[in-house]
Structure 1
Amino acid sequence: MNLKVGDFVTRKSYGNDLLFRVSKIDQQSVIIVGEELRLIADAPASDLLLVTESEKSSRKIEENKIEENCYRLFRQDRRLTRHRNEYEMTGGYKSKSSYFELPGRILHIDGDPVYLKKCTDLYEKLGVPIYGVHMQEKEMPLQIASLLEMVRPDILVITGHDAYMRSKGEQNEVKAYRNTKFFAEAVREARKFEPHMDHLVIFAGACQSYFETLIRAGANFASSPERINIHALDPVYIAAKVSLTPFMDSVSIWELLKNTLTGEKGLGGIETKGLLRRGMPIKNDDEDLDTRKKER
Structure 2
Amino acid sequence: MMADRQSAIAELVIVPFMDVASATLLAYDVMIKLDVEVEHIWMRKWSFLTVVYIIQRYLPFLDGGSVLYYHFGNLTDHYCTLIFNLNAWSYVVGISLSQFILTLRVWAVWNRSISVGIGFVIFFLACWIPSYVLLAQFSRLTFGPFPITYYPDFGCFFASALPLLPFWVCWLAYDTGTFVMILIPGLKAYHKGSRSGLLKTISQDGVAYYVIMFLFILINVICTVVLPVEFRTTLMFSFARITHSLGTSRIILHIRQAAWRRAYTHETSLSQIPFTQNGHEESSSAANSLIHDHFDVSELSTQL
Please indicate, yes or no, whether the TM-score normalized by the shorter chain is above 0.5. Answer: no
Q: Using CA pairs under 8 Å that are at least 6 residues apart, name the structure with larger relative contact order, 1 or 2.
A: 2
Where is the strand percentage greater, Structure 1 or Structure 2?
Answer: 1
Where is the helix percentage greater, Structure 1 or Structure 2?
Answer: 2
User: Normalising by the residue count of structure 1, what TM-score does the alignment of the two structures yield?
Assistant: 0.31
